Amino acid sequence: MRRAVVAWAMAYGGLRIWFATGHAPTWKLPGNDLLIPPWLAVAGCAITALAAITIRDERDLRHKQGLRGQRLGGRVWAARLFWVLAAGWVAAAAFILLDVVAAVLPGLGIPFDPLGMLCRVGAILGAVLLGLTAKAHQSEAKPWPHWIATLGACLAVAGCLTRLAAQAAVGFGTTPYGGDLSLILFEGGFMLVGTLLPFLLVHPVGRRFPRWMLLVPGFTLGAAMTAYFGVGLIQMVVAVAQGKPVYGDVGLPDAFFWVAVPAYVVWGVGLTLASRGYQFATRKDTDSERDLHIMNS
């Protein structure tokens, strides 16, 4: 898997160098295809490749380190580094959430940029490879208490309801999206992801569903919202520090964004926690332990 990470870093790094030297196309979404400067993306590819090359895999640790404590320490350190790199690439490609919404619901009027989406998918591919590499360096998973998953579900619902309250405060007619069937489907999915999905992830009735039916949307949407709106929240803080307006071109008061964006972050984090708890709660005795690794704290 480390070789795959190195190959990805070299290939994707070559693309980033091409873009950084003035050959990038015109993107339909604001800014670049990634939410980081071009040369920072190049540096990220170089760091990713160096990490994959220099860190020994778990088999090396088993054969070459004599003490169990040293072996575990090396695995934990490597896993954390790979997870940090994976999270960084997901955050950089946070616009992938808009790509998915624009592709599935074109009537909303969100610009759809196929080339930009492919570039972001490339970054997500690297994050997946890094995640798989991180799992190979982790010790056996230990399920966490059920209350953590329940707390996550409560946070997800609270984030959804807070986001709705923020919209109600400024008026539901101020949404920039179109008003056709796509908007109805979007709002219906919005409510399901914010209420029914968290409930099913922690209630016994959710265990009657195939695992993938809840885990796929739970993890995917949870990670996507956390990354996209987490980056947005950082941008808001930076804008305020620089004395600039927060999303001044949207036509909504700043207070709306200071409520709505953190609510989305809480929603995403809660959904991810609930999904992880559901994964533990529904695992079978024959499940691979390696498939259920979590990061040691």
Tell me the pLDDT tens digit for each residue of 225-266.
999 899 889 989 998 998 888 876 677 888 899 999 999 999
Instruction: Over range 142-160, report the average pLDDT.
Output: 93
Instruction: Over range 154-166, report the average pLDDT.
Output: 95
Q: Tell me which residue of 198, 191, 208 sits closest to 273, measured CA to CA.
A: 198
N-terminal to C-terminal alpha carbon distance within the chain: 24
Contacts of 159 (CB under 8 A, 6+ apart): 194, 263, 264, 265, 266, 267, 268, 270
Determine the Cα–Cα distance for residues 16 and 126; give it in Å rounded to an integer. Answer: 13
Tell me the pLDDT tens digit for each residue of 84-143.
999 999 989 988 988 988 888 887 778 889 999 999 999 999 999 998 988 887 766 678
Structure-token match 């009537």, residue found: 107
Instruction: Look at residue 21 and tell me whether its pLDDT is greater than 80.
Output: yes
Tell me the pLDDT tens digit for each residue of 172-212.
766 666 556 677 788 888 899 999 999 999 999 999 999 99
Mark residue 60 as left, alpha or beta (left: phi above 0; alpha: psi -120 to 50; beta: remaining): alpha
pLDDT at 266: 97
pLDDT at 70: 47
Instruction: Look at residue 67 and tell me whether its pLDDT is greater than 60.
Output: no
